[in-house]
Amino acid sequence: MKFFVDTAEIDAIAELNDLGMVDGVTTNPSLILKSGRDILEVTREICALVDGPVSAEVVATEADAMIAEGRKLAEIAPNITVKLPLTWDGLKACKVLSGEGKMVNVTLCFSANQALIAAKAGATFISPFVGRLDDINLDGMDLIADIREIYDNYDFDTEILVASVRSVNHVTESAKIGADVITAPPGVIKKLADHPLTDKGLDAFLKDWAKTGQKIL
């Protein structure tokens, strides 16, 4: 399963990228706002830092304007993925842009039917938001399982990019179901290394080592 990091913070991306933990990056207007930087500038810097797809989101809501913005964003770098909302206009834009050979990430997916029509419109990635479904007492992972089944039934090439990931359990369940990608904030990715028994065991080892009075260096 590929890991995309969901941030526009360059330092956080660089740290994870150095460890080989970054297969791509997703951004959105909210993340750009948090970074306090110009969208084109920060996106260009991210694209130069990582080899994988970098999702940059349009802000228009009408198909022709989305297409124009998508083409502009795609000029930034070859690894740009144009991020479009899962609306009817977004699907129209997806069809055009994917037909031009551009990678497209269709986002804000909350149903299997939405995922089905995004795949038929040529989406490179579909981004179901599992955390937001959990927020309204629905199991977001059920949606991932449904999409996986449908895509496998018909051999769709669209990759399932699990978004709105808020916990390490979301990552585990996505991997078990067979999602292609998860995108998560840097903090969630780093928590994958945490376990209380690891901490407890290390503490015991260090205490025993101290008692030996020895040094390695």
Residue with tokens 């959990």: 134
Integer angstrom CA distances of residue 24 from 11, 18, 50, 56:
15, 13, 7, 12
Classify the C-alpha dihedral 28-186-168-18 as positive or negative: positive
Q: Return d(Cα 77, Cα 95) in angstroms, integer.
A: 20
Residue 187 tokens read as 């903090």
Which among 160, 66, 176 has a CA at the least distance from the CA of 114? 160
Integer angstrom CA distances of residue 119 from 99, 131, 210:
13, 22, 58
User: Mind giving me the DSSP string for 71-83?
Assistant: HHHHTS-TTEEEE
CB 58 within 8 A of CB 67: no
Q: 2, 34, 72, 83: which one is catalytic? A: 83
CB 5 within 8 A of CB 183: yes
Name the CA dihedral angle for 137, 141, 147, 152, rounded to a multiple of 10 degrees: -160
Active site residue 83: yes
- Supply the residues annotated as catalytic: 83
